[in-house]
Amino acid sequence: MDILTKIVHHKRAEVKSKAQLISLSDLKKLNLYKRDPVSLSQLLKQNENLPIIAEFKRRSPSKSIINQSMSVNDVANAYQNSKFTGMSVLTDQHFFGGSLEDLLQARVHFKQAILRKDFTIKSYQIHEAKAFGADVILLIAAVLDLNHLKEFTEIAQDLGLEVLVEVHSQNDLDKALQVNAELIGINNRNLKTFEVDLEHSLKLAEQLPKHQIRISESGISKPETINSLKTKGFNGFLIGEQFMKAQPEDFLTQLHQFTKKIKS
């Protein structure tokens, strides 16, 4: 059983349990459910901030512990001060050490668009994302069939949320192009092997319509990579581990050096 299959298998039981603890009607009563979400796609088009969606992630199946000492409050503040367009918060607990509480805390400190990054397999999770302060949800094309991809996209958009459809293969891309998602993310990392292949991603990107907002995800560790991908038509860049793997005393210095090279 590959990593993605293991995660989805566990997620089914997890979501069923959570829905029994907090009903859908209870989620809709939470204050953040009533807020107007921030548009990530519009922020990227305005080009007023750095086109980076920087992640808060404690650990991953491929790298084990990444950073257990940094607080989400400190990281969100640093990302806000760095003028990043978006922040990604990994809320999967079992495999990534995240939580919905992380999303709540990030919402207090980060004022731009927040992506709730998780493995969405049930519509309940979309309402959950809305109730805990997300602006964008992630839908992984490799996890969902076309009908569910369309259904979940429509539910999210009805709630005012934007959708980032993540693709890894030609089959994923074919499905993604059939839904009206605001954003398509091309993951440079194979979720089954966790290997990174930028060339494969570029070949997929060439098939996207010119007007489509495209995000390059994973495996981005150098400012030079971002500057190069910009010339290939990418609008935004999701950086998962590069910042989080820094030691707390080096975190702000690394952020400053990284962003300075992008601006130059």
Task: Tell me the two tokens of residue 254.
Answer: 């690394």
**Taking the CA of residue 2 as centre, how many other CA atoms within 13 Å lie in the half-sphere pointing to its CB?**
9
Own/partner long-range contacts of 191-197 (Cβ < 8 Å, ≥24 apart): 191/2, 191/3, 191/4, 191/140, 191/142, 192/2, 192/3, 192/4, 193/2, 194/3, 194/61, 194/62
Residue 8 burial class via C-beta count within 10 angstroms: exposed 0-12, middle 13-18, buried 19 and up: middle
In the chain, which ranges are E strands?
Answer: 50-56, 59-60, 64-65, 84-90, 113-117, 136-140, 162-167, 183-187, 213-217, 236-239
User: Strand 59-60 and strand 64-65: pairing?
Assistant: antiparallel
Q: Which residues are catalytic?
A: 55, 57, 117, 166, 187, 217-218
Question: The dihedral of CA 185, 186, 187, 190: what is its sign?
Answer: positive
Q: What's the CA angle centered on 1, arms 183 and 141, to 5 degrees?
A: 15
Give all strands (DSSP E) within 72-161, no chain letters.
Answer: 84-90, 113-117, 136-140
Length of the chain (residues): 264
